[in-house]
Chain A
Amino acid sequence: MSRRTDLGKIYLVLIPFLLLFLAFTVWPLVRTVQFSLHDFDGIGALGDSPNVGLDNYKTVLTDPLFGKAYANTWAFTIGQTLIKLPLSFLIALLLTRPWLRWPAFFRTVFFLPWLMPASIVAMVFGYLLSPSDGAINQLLTALHLTDQPIDFLRSGPIAFATIAVISTWQIMGQYVIFWMAALQLVPPNLLEAAEVDGAGALQRLWHIILPLVRPMGVIIASLGLIWSLGIFDWVQILTSGGPGTDTYVINYYVYEMAFAQARPQFGTSSAAAFVFGITVLIVYALVGKLVGRAQLKRKEYGV
């Protein structure tokens, strides 16, 4: 299809994209690796700072706090993804039923929290969850569900569970939108035909809807994972990584290293970011392989 005369035009219209993509996506990775090999404070030129080889990696990999932040980030990501993906799929499924009344109203209900920035939601919940006079504790006490106020951010696991629940609440609308878009790929007449043939709701879900939304589903799941891995605002606002260092996550570690030290540690911070980025890529490659293999198997068995 490509004609020679078009080539110049193609590259011409690609320029804005290429500039942004190279400058803000590709180049930062190259630069992160360079930073991570220097004792760099982010102030002067990188060339003036001493090259320390792999020292920063040694520092990061032997830092128990990095290990903790690393494990916390994955635990949070897996936990949050397991809640938000199925739940948003279910909501999207309900919202796209042709017999649902007032669909526009309910759609808006589920989208609204998504329009509030996570940081602001975190502040609102900071008040709502307050053990002294927060609305949620007052409600729980009034309903006699608890004798004394609950400190939802008391310890690592509870604080994380709290963050997972409220961040899921905030982001749900976005995933509902994605799933609704995926569900548009299911032709209504296929479902009607199946219904005529006597397939029940569950059978239609299992044999028609799920296989058809799966390709989009893989993308939605990947995005869901990557956005959870980037968790920062909730932690910074609600717990500042605490109590103690119980809710440290990677982005918070990177931020603290680079911007909250007496002397900014861009080198160590970059090493941490790179180690994390690489493992994320490896996990994605493995998951991709597994998904691919599973699909091949399915084809072999003709399922």
Chain B
Amino acid sequence: MRTQRWTPRSVLLVVVLLAVSFIYLYPFLWPVFSSFKSSNEMYTAGFKLWPEHWTGENYGRAWTTANFSRYLFNSVFYSTASTAITVIASALAGYTLARYKFPGSRVIGVLILAFLFMPTATSVLPIFELIQTIGLLNTVWGVLLALTGGVGFSTLLFRGYFSAIPQELFDAAAIDGAGFFRTFRLIFPLAKPIIATTAILGFTSSWQEYFVPLIFTLGNPELRTVSVGLRAFTQQYSVDLSGFAAAVTLSMVPIVAVFLFFQRYFIEGLAGAVKD
């Protein structure tokens, strides 16, 4: 890390970025600050962010109304579980595809690429039928599987990452007599940054997904995610703006926490600081 100094250009950039940041974050900060305003103030506040009188009562209402706490719990569960499945399945596959040639490896590689470009629209109905056929429709597991999906993209990420690891490491492992599983165990710690990357991408994408959970919870509202459930909230309580703002703010807590936790590794990964 080199020491940084204030220079004319870095002052200029920081000033510009601070101004941009405020505008950029306004729609993000709006629900956060609105959630501390009273319902009356909400309607007279206009574009002002800062509450005149702070109140916490919206949070109690948001938490208990419209099953919100249930939705939040669901979202945390789906995202965590689907991230775990994605990371495990695609790390193993990415590793073998990157380092071994075996009958079928080429076909798998081509298929992943070809299907990467298949729009969600094309797969959602058959997945619906599949989940129905195996008897998981309207269950937690059905939603979880549908949300996890085909893990092709994360497998590509892992394959790319493992391909770039120098061959010498593998040769050294082979000289030490390491077999398939021991080599994987030796190499795996090097993959921390890409695990962080896939975990963040996987978590956010299942956290954000709307189309899939919407369709898979049509028959059982109890299973809804926050992204789908909040919609019901606004449709039922369209006048309760500050309650909505509190619900939105609460819904951001888990994902921001996950992001801040992984960010360290994530940025580490981006910075290429693979060596521990």
Given that A99-B9, A135-B30 are known contacts, is A16 also in contact with B92, CB under 8 Å in the complex? Answer: yes
Given that A2-B102, A9-B180, A269-B125 are known contacts, is A123 also in contact with B234, CB under 8 Å in the complex? Answer: yes
CA distance A233 to B231 in the complex (A): 11
Residues of B within 8 A of A (CB): 2, 4, 6-7, 9-10, 13-14, 17, 21, 24-25, 27-28, 30-31, 43, 45-47, 85, 88-90, 92-93, 95-96, 99-102, 108, 111-112, 114-130, 145-146, 148-153, 155, 179-181, 184, 197, 201, 204, 207-211, 214-215, 218, 226-228, 230-231, 234, 241, 244, 248, 251-252, 255-256, 259, 263, 266-267, 270-272
In the assembled complex, how far is the CB of residue A265 from the closest CB belonging to chain B, in whole angstroms? 10
In the assembled complex, how far is the CB of residue A22 from the closest CB belonging to chain B, in whole angstroms? 8
**A230 & B10 in contact (Cβ 8 Å cutoff):** no
List 21 contacting pairs A-B, 8 Å CB cutoff, sorted by A.
Answer: A5-B180, A7-B102, A10-B102, A14-B96, A20-B85, A20-B151, A26-B150, A27-B126, A28-B124, A28-B127, A29-B118, A46-B129, A117-B210, A119-B227, A120-B230, A120-B251, A184-B271, A237-B231, A254-B121, A273-B124, A276-B122
Excluding A24-B130, A31-B129, A118-B227, 16 further A-B contacts by CB distance (< 8 Å) are: A25-B123, A27-B130, A29-B115, A31-B125, A35-B126, A101-B13, A113-B25, A124-B27, A135-B45, A135-B46, A184-B272, A222-B116, A226-B117, A237-B231, A254-B124, A276-B119
**A281 & B117 in contact (Cβ 8 Å cutoff):** yes
**B121 & A259 in contact (Cβ 8 Å cutoff):** no
CA distance A108 to B96 in the complex (A): 34
Question: How many chain-A residues does the 8 Å CB contact rule pick out?
Answer: 97
**A124 & B123 in contact (Cβ 8 Å cutoff):** no
Question: Which of the segments A50-58, A125-133, A154-162, A202-210 contacts the partner chain?
Answer: A125-133
**A116 & B28 in contact (Cβ 8 Å cutoff):** yes
Q: Does A152 contact B (CB under 8 A)?
A: no
**A124 & B122 in contact (Cβ 8 Å cutoff):** no
- B272 (CB) vs chain A CBs: closest residue: A184
CA distance A71 to B101 in the complex (A): 43
Query: Which of these, A23, A113, A222, contacts B24 with CB under 8 Å?
Result: A113
Chain A residues with Cβ below 8 Å from B270 are 177, 180-181, 184
In the assembled complex, how far is the CB of residue B255 from the closest CB belonging to chain A, in whole angstroms? 5
- B123 (CB) vs chain A CBs: closest residue: A28
CA distance A16 to B227 in the complex (A): 28
Chain B residues with Cβ below 8 Å from A218 are none
**A273 & B130 in contact (Cβ 8 Å cutoff):** no
Q: Does A136 contact B (CB under 8 A)?
A: yes
CA distance A233 to B226 in the complex (A): 13
**B92 & A13 in contact (Cβ 8 Å cutoff):** yes
**A251 & B119 in contact (Cβ 8 Å cutoff):** yes
Q: Does A1 contact B (CB under 8 A)?
A: yes
Q: Does A68 contact B (CB under 8 A)?
A: no
Q: Does A78 contact B (CB under 8 A)?
A: no
**B89 & A20 in contact (Cβ 8 Å cutoff):** yes
**A2 & B9 in contact (Cβ 8 Å cutoff):** no
